[in-house]
Structures are given as C-alpha cells and as structure tokens.
Amino acid sequence: METVCLNKQDNSFTRAVEERSGQVVSRCYQCGNCTAGCPMSFLFDYPVSRIMRLIQAGQKETVLSSKAIWLCAACNTCTQRCPNEIDVSGVMDTCRQMARRENKFGVHAVRAFVNAFIDSVKFNGRSHEVGIMALYMLYTGRFWTDVDLAPKVLPKGKMAILPHRINGRAEVAAIISRYKQGFSDPELVRARLAAAGGQGAGASAGGDKGSRAGHGKEAAS
C-alpha cells in the first residue's frame, strides 16, 4: 500500500470538493458502509471510504490520479447507505470531473468510453450504440471489444447500423460546444446574474429566474 504524507495537506482541495459537490465530506467518520456495499470495489485501487478520508486529508494528487474515481459505476449504493447522508457517489463524480479538468485520467478506457458517448450525442443528438462502440474502438485501439456480441444482436435487426439523427442535432451540438467554451462557468454566470439583478428582472437572457419558483413539480415534497 502507498503511504500518504499528511504533512502535505492541500486544504483548498478539500474545500473545492465540498463546494463543487455540495457535500460536507468532513462528516464522514469512516464507518465503511460505502465500501461494504460498493460493487466495483474489487477493481478499485482505493476503496471509496479511503477516497473520502484522502479528501478530508487534502491529498489532491492521490485522489485525482486514482483509478477508483474512474471505475465508480455511479450506482448510488454508497449514497443510499451513508449514515451521515453524504452523497458519496456525487463526491466521486465531482472528483472525476476535477481530474478531467486537470487532464488526469486514471483509467483511459473509461475516459474513451465517455468521450465516445458524448461525441455520438454531438453528431446525432441521440446516442447511437453501434457508433459509440466504433468510436470507443477507435479511441482505445481495442478493436476486438464485444465482437462476440455481434452475432447475437445483428440477426435480430435490433441494432440500428445507421444512427437515428434528430432535427435539432445542431442545437445539441451547440450545447456541447458552449460547454467546452466555458459558457456555463459559475463565476461568469454569477456575474451575469448579478448584473441582470442590478438592471431589474428580465434585463438579460434568462432574467426571469428570480420570479420562477422551481422546475420540479415535486420539489416542495
């Protein structure tokens, strides 16, 4: 097992994870319930409860370089069972997002799969299974991936060889492109909201936010 040097604590990392995920990671008292229920733990380099401890201890490099944050299946078992009501799965998601921003990819195949999926959505507006597999093979060089499944699905005519493209695919591609250009950056949007607030409601795009109660009908319950 690797040793962790607790003299080098990056507390700003702990704060950043808490802020981005909206979770109080310091509430974790290492009961291990998350790890006990984690289905992917057998592939992890650090079990999920240890990732939580490493975040508390400000071990940015270890956490963001880990394989565990990439192999999490986002099944929410840990979140459901945490006695301190921490959205553990959400924290894992946050770490993966932060790792991506720092160009750290603990498991390249997962990154390739995610990219293949998003690219498929960008091209077609919908995900296209055959296309995702083709892109995944291209990005990883694993050209034999799941070829054993082809004889099972192709004769049934289930898999659409050509994608179902939607009319609004340019709109969906624009969402991804705006995202990549940083349009949803929280500081930028916060500044715009503040400016709009100063000028009065409805002054800029999306300026009617303040008057809207919420998007979910069941939000109050």
Partner 1 sequence: MSKITLGYFPGCSGLGTSAEYEKSTRAVCRELGIDLREIPDWNCCGSTPAHTVDPVLSSAFSARVFAQGEQVGITDVITPCPSCLSNLRNALRHMDDELFAARVDALTERPLKQEHSIKSVLQVIVEDIGLDSVKARVRKPLTGLKAVAYYGCLMNRPEKVMRFDDPENPVAMDQVLEVLGAEVLPFPLKVDCCGGSMSIPARRSTPHLAGKILDLAGEMGADVVVVACPLCQMNLDLRQGQSRAAGLKYTLPVPYFTQLMAYAFGLSDADTAFKLLAEDIAPAFTCMSRRSDEIKAEEARKAVLAEEKARAAAEKAAKTQAGTETAAEKQPGGKSRANSASAAGGAA
Q: Which of 170, 183, 195, 201 binds partner 1 (CB under 8 A)?
A: 183
Site membership for partner 1, residue 150 (CB under 8 A):
no
32 contacts: CB under 8 Å, gap ≥ 6: 49
Q: Which of residues 71-130 bind partner 1 (CB under 8 A)?
A: 71, 73-77, 79-80, 87, 89, 93, 96-97, 100, 107, 109-110, 112-114, 117-118, 121, 125-130
Question: How would you label 209-220 residue by residue, b for 16+ Cβ within 10 Å and e otherwise?
Answer: eeeeeeeeeeee
Q: Which of 30, 83, 154, 210 binds partner 1 (CB under 8 A)?
A: 210
Q: Which of 1, 184, 198, 203 binds partner 1 (CB under 8 A)?
A: 184
Hey, what amino acid is at 88?
Answer: V
* Least distance in angstroms from the C-beta of 140 to partner 1: 8
Q: Which of 138, 166, 201, 203 binds partner 1 (CB under 8 A)?
A: 166
Cα–Cα dist 220/127, whole Å: 33
Question: How would you label 135-146 residue by residue, b for 16+ Cβ within 10 Å and e otherwise?
Answer: bbbebeeeeeee
Site membership for partner 1, residue 213 (CB under 8 A):
yes
Among candidate residues 91, 79, 89, the one with its CA nearest the CA of residue 18: 91
- Give residue for tokens 């069941």: 218
Q: Which of 3, 7, 156, 200 binds partner 1 (CB under 8 A)?
A: 156
Q: Which of residues 16-55 bind partner 1 (CB under 8 A)?
A: 39-40, 42-43
159 contacts: CB under 8 Å, gap ≥ 6: 129, 130, 153
Q: Which of 168, 195, 201, 203 binds partner 1 (CB under 8 A)?
A: 168
